[in-house]
Amino acid sequence: MARVAVVTGGTRGIGEAISLALRDAGVTVAANYGGSDDKARAFTEKTGIKSYKWNVADHQACLDGCAQVAADLGPIDIVVNNAGITRDGTLMKMSWEAWDEVIRVNLGGCFNMAKATFAGMKERGWGRYVQIGSINGQAGQYGQVNYAAAKSGIHGFTKALAQEGARFGITANAIAPGYIDTDMVAAVPADVLAKIVAKIPVGRLGQANEIARAVAFLTSEDAGFITGSTMSVNGGQHMY
């Protein structure tokens, strides 16, 4: 029987690529989204992947959403915590709301999704968590104290979750993408983007499917001895 995965933010950008990669690997995928119903409907019609709407920052919504996925598709074996937002600004200009919203979605969503699914994985003796962190959670970024803090927190969350899950057959890993050719990066002014690419040793932006392939590996049977790790997929931009 096919494994069942939930990919948060799974209907566009990196999330869409992850959903497709897992589907192509034989996994039954539920793509969570929190935005446009029309876009999610188009995604489902195009891919055949069911989409489910809830806000990952809402704890009860995650519990209810995962219960619905399990009822529709079967017990959840894989969670990919990909959903994320930006509310950029320097510390002096950043509002409390901009700080709080990013922390609740990007980091709080990981906690909420784990709470909704960990017990079932433990009972069945198998599970996979992959959190999508960021190069900016590793190296920091001007004007992103909220985003960098949330993504850095994801890396610590992953290591702690890995320790709790290891003896139950549950792995937890993170991927820290560099600058990927998505709508979010496309919104960066061209002159700024050129300076970013100049700092990437391989000389280009990453592609969403390069992140997706890493997720497909970390959620597979072959990755059972890998847990608590952060995989940097950034073209050599940040090494440590």
Catalytic, 147? Answer yes
Q: Which of 33, 52, 129, 147 is catalytic?
A: 147
168: left (phi over 0), alpha (psi -120 to 50) or beta: alpha
Distance CA 57, CA 17 (A): 22
125: left (phi over 0), alpha (psi -120 to 50) or beta: left
Closest CA to 181 of 161, 153, 200, 164: 200
Closest CA to 113 of 127, 97, 99: 127
Evaluate whether 231 touches 177 at the Cβ level (below 8 Å).
no
Distance CA 122, CA 76 (A): 11
So which residues are the catalytic ones? 147
